[in-house]
Amino acid sequence: MCYAIPGKVIELQGKTAIIDYYGETKKAINEFMDLQVGEYIYAQGGFVISKVPEKEALEILDLWREMFFELRKTDLRLSRLDFEDIEVEKSFSLILDKAAEGLPIKKEELLRLMQTKNRKELNLLFKVANFLRQKHLQNSCCVHGIIEFSNYCSADCTYCGIRKSNSSLKRYRMSEDEILQAVDEAVNKYGFKALVLQSGEDPAFTPEIMARIIKRIKEKYAVLIFISTGEMDSDGLQLLYTAGARGILLRFETSNPELYAKLHHGEKLADRLQVLKDAYAIGYLILTGSLIGLPGQTEDDLLNDILLAKELHAEMFTFGPVLPDGPPSEQVLKVLAVSRIADPSNAKIVVTTGFETLDQDARRLGLLAGANSVMINVTPMQYRQFYNIYPNRAHGDESIEKQIKDTLDLLYSLGRAPTDLGIS
Alpha helices in 226-268 (DSSP H): 234-243, 257-263
Task: Inform me whether the pLDDT recorded for 404 exceeds 70.
Answer: yes
Report the candidate in 225, 268, 270 with the shortest Cα–Cα distance to residue 248: 225
- pLDDT of 422 above 80: no
Distance from C-alpha of 351 to C-alpha of 340, rounded to nearest angstrom: 13
DSSP reduced 3-state for 350 = strand
Residue ranges covered by each domain of the chain: 7-77, 81-134, 136-413
| Tens digits of residue pLDDT in 281-338 | 999 999 999 999 999 999 999 999 999 999 999 999 999 999 988 899 999 999 999 9
**What's the confidence (pLDDT) of residue 1?**
45
Indicate if the pLDDT at residue 246 is higher than 60. yes
- Give the CA distances from residue 331 to residues 14, 117, 292, 298, in Å, rounded to whole numbers and listed in that order: 44, 9, 8, 11
Average pLDDT over residues 61-76: 91
CATH number of 7-77: 2.30.30.140
Q: Report the C-alpha gap between 284 and 158 in whole angstroms.
A: 28
- Number of neighbours of residue 114 by Cβ within 10 angstroms: 20
State the Cα–Cα distance between residues 359 and 292, nearest whole angstrom: 14
**Residues 179 and 173: beta-carbon distance below 8 Å:** no
- Provide the H-helix boundaries in 156-227: 176-184, 207-220
On whether the CB atoms of residues 21 and 9 are closer than 8 A, the answer is: no
What's the CATH fold of domain 136-413?
Answer: TIM Barrel (3.20.20)
Instruction: Give the global pTM.
Output: 0.96
Residue (of 207, 291, 296) closest to 258 by Cα position: 296
| Per-chain mean pLDDT for the chain | 94
Euclidean distance between CA atoms 170 and 278, whole angstroms: 34
CB 146 within 8 A of CB 374: no
pLDDT at 265: 86
What does the pLDDT look like over 92-142, one tens digit per residue? 999 999 999 999 999 999 999 999 999 999 999 999 999 999 999 999 999
Q: What is the largest CA-CA distance in the chain?
A: 60
